[in-house]
Amino acid sequence: MTSPIEPAEAPPASESASESAPGSLAAPRSLSGHLHHYRWDLDKTYLRTEFDTFRDLVRTFRQRADEKQVVPGARTLLRELLHPDTVLAPRRVTFISGSPRQMRKVLTERLRLDGIEPVEFILKPNLENLLKLRIRAVRGQVGYKLEALLRSRIHADRVEEVLFGDDAEHDAYIYSLYGDLIAGRIGADRLLDILVACRVYTRDIDRILTLQDTLRPAQGSVRRIIIHLDRRSPVRRFLDYGARVVPVFNYFQASLVLFGDGQLPGRSLLHVLEALKDEGYTPTRIANSVQDLMRRGFLSPVLFARVEAELDAAGQTLGRPPSAFLEASREALELVHVRERPTPPWIEDVDYLALVGSGRFKPPRLREKVLQFLE
Amino acid sequence: MRSAAEHTRTTILVDVTHGLDAGHEALEGAALASLNLDTPLCVVGDEPRITRALQEIPHDAELLRVIHAEDAEHGGGLRTTLEHAAALPCSTVVTAAARYRVLQDARDILPLLPGVTRPALAAVYPTVRLRGERDDPFALLLDVGAQLDSTAPVLLEHAILGAVYARLISENETPRVALLANTSQEDAIPPRLAEAAALLAEAAGERFTFAGLTDGSRILLGDADVVVSDGYSGELLIRTIEGFAATAEQLLARAGKRFRWRMGVSMLGGGIEALRELTDWQNYGGAPLLGLARPVITLQSGARRRAFVNAARLAAKIDRLDVQRALDDATRDTPR
């Protein structure tokens, strides 16, 4: 079943009343009562982390805070989402990562260097799991992340969440399941079946079911799930979750979607664009990703016209018009035959049990296969 | 070779309306190349179909642009690809369309290099002898079908194109160029070839050495790094070499019928596999059409995605080594 749920509308500018620092605990509720909660995964979503081999793991563990690389555009996007000047409603950020707790100090320092202060920073008790021989819990993410998401929810009547993850593990699955749980679309029996199918330990299942019990109907909602395609997985892997899940190749694509959702002003688009440019992105490369988003139906010609106008205006104000990018984008879009694409459907009854059994559930190792093949 | 400062990366235009599975192998090849090469790629074909197909294929959308081709199902893809190449100063075309179509449309749409009167289709083939700084086992044969009948000055033109290409791609500073003939006896060859041999001997110098005439029996030994021929004989020869490799493959399959043979083949497994890799044309990167204002790499209609990836790699190499400029410079100076 599909239903045309509209993306969250931006509240009027007059309602942007927050005066608090980005990510601070004490931000007040806006007049609209909406509170925006951004939940980020860390590795491969915010940080460029490699942990495919043992050597990668050791190197990651030994890196200093200033040696850790941020995914291009991620820091700027997050700062723009939390920026006091661009706040349309109170905003918070939480990090939930599969990294071990022993890395807290260095990771917190990395975020501090980036000027980001999360409300909560949850890390995985990997050592504890290992010592208790809970091997499935060391590797698995479903039980750990779902519990962390439920536990660290901000308990307010009107919370809108945007979740950021990547394609290395099961972020789209977990986030989508979480979104449906808090929307009251999944009952305890069904959740139990799903968690058993995901091979979550019984004790963890009990805790998750207890947390589910505390949910009140329609308490908050997950408006978007942004999946960074770090491994360049085929986007087909995410179609089963509907339009709420948007796989992106870079954070300018994410910015465009969030701009369309009313989460970001035009000026922020310019900042993310410039951040990518600083990382060596050419106008053509970004224009190609704009074309990709439009071909997949996440960017309409009408929305792109707004993007053009906003970017142009912001560029004029700041004295840095992004003319090369706009020209490249127009050219890329001209090459596409049919620009207007139906928006992908919003799916309310994701078949989580069937997904666990499907090949698409497994994190891809395709890129590695590709590299092997090419060698 | 260009310096880093003046280097402009090529755009590789891949025609995905031709080849196996209605161009799907070409699309998969381009998608794989986008993950491995840091070079912009454009796939040309029916855009809605490409977008649907790309959803299932790992690719990098930042490097892969889609260009819609009207009438893609009826061959429009090749013309659209060539038209975009004509409009893009730094671009390379990769296609698995029928070679006669490629030759016809490329000649219609792309200008020739100023010093070239006839383009040449070049093919690489493995030889016994290794060459260049990287011990390259491949020699170059041209023309393999672009001009069925070539005059002596055209054969000279092609010798220069081949020599420049071999010098850069095989890192072979002074390639040995030979003329394909029915015999290596100078008094037993047609007058046209004798005239061409005289022109080549006169033009030889810094750019290449003239290795004289070569007949079919010497080709695979690799006495020459570049073999020049008219398109008719060249195509005949390259097809024979490809057919020989395919026949050897079938003969090998027959070995499975007898236990002792099977054991022998199994023991030689590693060597046979290496030989198979060497003779598999999907590894070569296609046949470049030389002498046009843009490089055009043609692939056989049965090319699989690996062949397209290798063709894209070859395109990137042609750009990196600035082969087009070298071809242009060399042919401008050709004595007429």
The model's pLDDT over B259-310, given as tens digits with 9 standing for 90+, comes to 777 777 777 777 666 666 666 666 666 899 999 999 999 998 888 999 999 9
- Name the residue facing B66 among A236, A336, A364 (closest C-beta): A336
Instruction: Examine residue B68 and state whether it is found in any structural domain, yes or no.
Output: yes
- Reported as a pLDDT band with limits 50, 70 and 90, residue A62 is confident
- Reported as a pLDDT band with limits 50, 70 and 90, residue A1 is very low
Instruction: Examine residue B329 and state whether it is found in any structural domain, yes or no.
Output: no
3-class DSSP assignment, residue A178: helix
Which residues of chain A have a CB within 8 Å of the CB of B306?
373
Same domain, B13 and B68: yes
Cβ of residue B192 closer than 8 Å to a chain A Cβ = no
Please list, in sequence order, all residues whose beta carbon lies within 8 angstroms of the beta carbon of residue B55, skipping any fewer than 6 positions away: A234, A235, A236, A239, A296
Mean pLDDT for A321-336 is 86
Instruction: Examine residue B263 and state whether it is found in any structural domain, yes or no.
Output: no
Position B34 scores a pLDDT of 96
Q: Tell me which residue range forms the domain holding B169.
A: 120-251
For residue A259, pLDDT over 50 is answered with yes
Distance (Å, rounded) from C-alpha B221 to C-alpha A164? 60
Q: Which one, of A215, A161, A156, A217, lies nearest residue A33 by Cα?
A: A156
- Residue in B closest to A281 by C-alpha: B62
Q: What is the mean pLDDT of chain B?
A: 88
Taking the CA of residue B32 and the nearest CA in chain A, the distance in Å comes to: 7
Taking the CA of residue A272 and the nearest CA in chain B, the distance in Å comes to: 16
- Reported as a pLDDT band with limits 50, 70 and 90, residue B198 is very high
Instruction: Examine residue A167 and state whether it is found in any structural domain, yes or no.
Output: yes
Cβ of residue A363 closer than 8 Å to a chain B Cβ = no
Inter-chain residue contact B66 with A335, CB threshold 8 Å: yes
Tell me the three-class secondary structure of A62-83, residue by residue.
HCCHHHCCECCCHHHHHHHHHC
Same domain, B229 and B136: yes
Inter-chain residue contact B47 with A288, CB threshold 8 Å: no
Residue B54 sits in a domain of what CATH number?
3.40.50.10950
For residue A256, pLDDT over 90 is answered with yes
Instruction: Examine residue B317 and state whether it is found in any structural domain, yes or no.
Output: yes
Inter-chain residue contact B306 with A296, CB threshold 8 Å: no
Q: Is the peptide bond before B143 cis (omega within 30 degrees of 0)?
A: yes
What's the domain count of chain A? Answer: 1
Counting every residue written for chain B, the total comes to 336
What's the domain count of chain B? Answer: 2
Distance (Å, rounded) from C-alpha A99 to C-alpha A123? 6
For residue B58, pLDDT over 60 is answered with yes
- Reported as a pLDDT band with limits 50, 70 and 90, residue A362 is low
Choice between B268 and A21, residue whose per-residue pLDDT is larger: B268
Inter-chain residue contact B32 with A367, CB threshold 8 Å: no
Is the C-alpha dihedral spanning B17, B21, B26, B31 positive or negative? positive
Same domain, B64 and B176: no
Q: Which of A41-50, A204-213, B87-96, B266-275 has the lowest mean pLDDT?
A: B266-275
Which residues of chain B have a CB within 8 Å of the CB of A247?
none
Taking the CA of residue B286 and the nearest CA in chain A, the distance in Å comes to: 16
Mean pLDDT for A18-31 is 33
What type of residue is A96? Answer: I
- Reported as a pLDDT band with limits 50, 70 and 90, residue A368 is low
Cβ of residue B64 closer than 8 Å to a chain A Cβ = yes
Distance (Å, rounded) from C-alpha A306 to C-alpha A328? 16
Same domain, B129 and B235: yes
Q: Could you say which of B251, B270, B303 is where a domain stops?
A: B251
Taking the CA of residue A119 and the nearest CA in chain B, the distance in Å comes to: 33
Taking the CA of residue A285 and the nearest CA in chain B, the distance in Å comes to: 5
Same domain, B107 and B130: no
For residue A17, pLDDT over 50 is answered with no
Cβ of residue A281 closer than 8 Å to a chain B Cβ = yes
Same domain, B236 and B318: no
Which residues of chain A have a CB within 8 Å of the CB of B55?
234-236, 239, 296
Burial B222-257 (b: 16+ CB within 10 A, else e): bbbbbbbbbbebbbebbeebeeebeeeeeeeeebee
What type of residue is B251? Answer: L
The model's pLDDT over A175-223, given as tens digits with 9 standing for 90+, comes to 999 999 998 899 999 999 999 999 999 999 999 999 999 887 666 789 9
- Name the residue facing A291 among B55, B57, B65 (closest C-beta): B65
Inter-chain residue contact A335 with B309, CB threshold 8 Å: no
Inter-chain residue contact A288 with B35, CB threshold 8 Å: no
Mean pLDDT for B182-207 is 88
Inter-chain residue contact B65 with A374, CB threshold 8 Å: no
Position B335 scores a pLDDT of 60
- DSSP letters of B241-298? HHHHHHHHHHHHHHGGGSHHHHHHHHHTHHHHHHHHHHH-GGGTT-EEEESBSS-EEE
- Residue in B closest to A248 by C-alpha: B61
Instruction: Examine residue B3 and state whether it is found in any structural domain, yes or no.
Output: yes
Cβ of residue A233 closer than 8 Å to a chain B Cβ = yes
Cβ of residue A29 closer than 8 Å to a chain B Cβ = no
For residue A335, pLDDT over 50 is answered with yes
Q: Which residue has the tokens 């605990």?
A: A25
Same domain, B111 and B165: no
| Phi-psi sector, B12: left (phi>0), alpha (psi -120 to 50), beta | beta
Cβ of residue B56 closer than 8 Å to a chain A Cβ = yes
The model's pLDDT over A264-285, given as tens digits with 9 standing for 90+, comes to 988 999 999 999 999 999 999 9
Same domain, B146 and B243: yes
Distance (Å, rounded) from C-alpha B38 to C-alpha A252? 19
Inter-chain residue contact A236 with B40, CB threshold 8 Å: no
- Residue in A closest to B60 by C-alpha: A232
Inter-chain residue contact B65 with A335, CB threshold 8 Å: yes
Taking the CA of residue B66 and the nearest CA in chain A, the distance in Å comes to: 7
- Name the residue facing B61 among A249, A338, A371 (closest C-beta): A249
Distance (Å, rounded) from C-alpha A344 to C-alpha A243? 5
Cβ of residue B55 closer than 8 Å to a chain A Cβ = yes
- Reported as a pLDDT band with limits 50, 70 and 90, residue B336 is low
Position B251 scores a pLDDT of 76
Instruction: Examine residue A293 and state whether it is found in any structural domain, yes or no.
Output: no
The model's pLDDT over B128-187, given as tens digits with 9 standing for 90+, comes to 888 877 788 889 999 888 888 889 999 999 999 999 999 999 888 899 999 999 888 888
Inter-chain residue contact A370 with B32, CB threshold 8 Å: yes
- Residue in B closest to A231 by C-alpha: B58
Same domain, B70 and B8: yes
Same domain, B73 and B127: no
Instruction: Examine residue A131 and state whether it is found in any structural domain, yes or no.
Output: yes
Beta bridge partners of B81: none
Instruction: Examine residue A106 and state whether it is found in any structural domain, yes or no.
Output: yes
Q: Could you say which of B223, B251, B279 is where a domain stops?
A: B251
- Name the residue facing A367 among B35, B48, B55 (closest C-beta): B35
Instruction: Examine residue A298 and state whether it is found in any structural domain, yes or no.
Output: no
Instruction: Examine residue B333 and state whether it is found in any structural domain, yes or no.
Output: no
Mean pLDDT for A24-37 is 51
Residue B186 sits in a domain of what CATH number?
3.40.718.10
Instruction: Examine residue B219 and state whether it is found in any structural domain, yes or no.
Output: yes
Please list, in sequence order, all residues whose beta carbon lies within 8 angstroms of the beta carbon of residue B119, skipping any fewer than 6 positions away: B103, B106, B107, B112, B146, B147, B289, B290, B291, B292
Q: Could you say which of B232, B251, B270 is where a domain stops?
A: B251
Position B285 scores a pLDDT of 67
Position A18 scores a pLDDT of 32
Spatial contact of A269 and A256, defined as CB atoms under 8 Å apart: yes
Q: Which of B25, B52, B55 best probes binding to A when mutated, by most A CB atoms within 10 angstroms?
A: B55
Q: What is the mean pLDDT of chain A?
A: 83
Distance (Å, rounded) from C-alpha B147 to C-alpha A233? 45
Percentage, residues of chain B above pLDDT 90? 56
Instruction: Examine residue A202 and state whether it is found in any structural domain, yes or no.
Output: yes
Choice between B58 and B280, residue whose per-residue pLDDT is larger: B58
Q: Tell me which residue range forms the domain holding A179.
A: 16-250+344-363
Q: Which of A164-168, A338-342, B131-135, B187-191 has the lowest mean pLDDT?
A: A338-342
Position A336 scores a pLDDT of 81
Q: Which of A289-298, A359-368, B194-203 has the lowest mean pLDDT?
A: A359-368
The model's pLDDT over A75-105, given as tens digits with 9 standing for 90+, comes to 999 999 998 665 567 888 999 988 888 888 9
For residue B1, pLDDT over 50 is answered with no
Same domain, B133 and B247: yes
Mean pLDDT for A224-236 is 95
Spatial contact of B257 and B204, defined as CB atoms under 8 Å apart: no
Size of interface A-B (CB pairs under 8 A): 77
Instruction: Examine residue B264 and state whether it is found in any structural domain, yes or no.
Output: no
Choice between A13 and B221, residue whose per-residue pLDDT is larger: B221
Spatial contact of B200 and B150, defined as CB atoms under 8 Å apart: no
Inter-chain residue contact B58 with A367, CB threshold 8 Å: yes
Same domain, B110 and B36: yes
Is the C-alpha dihedral spanning B298, B303, B308, B314 positive or negative? negative
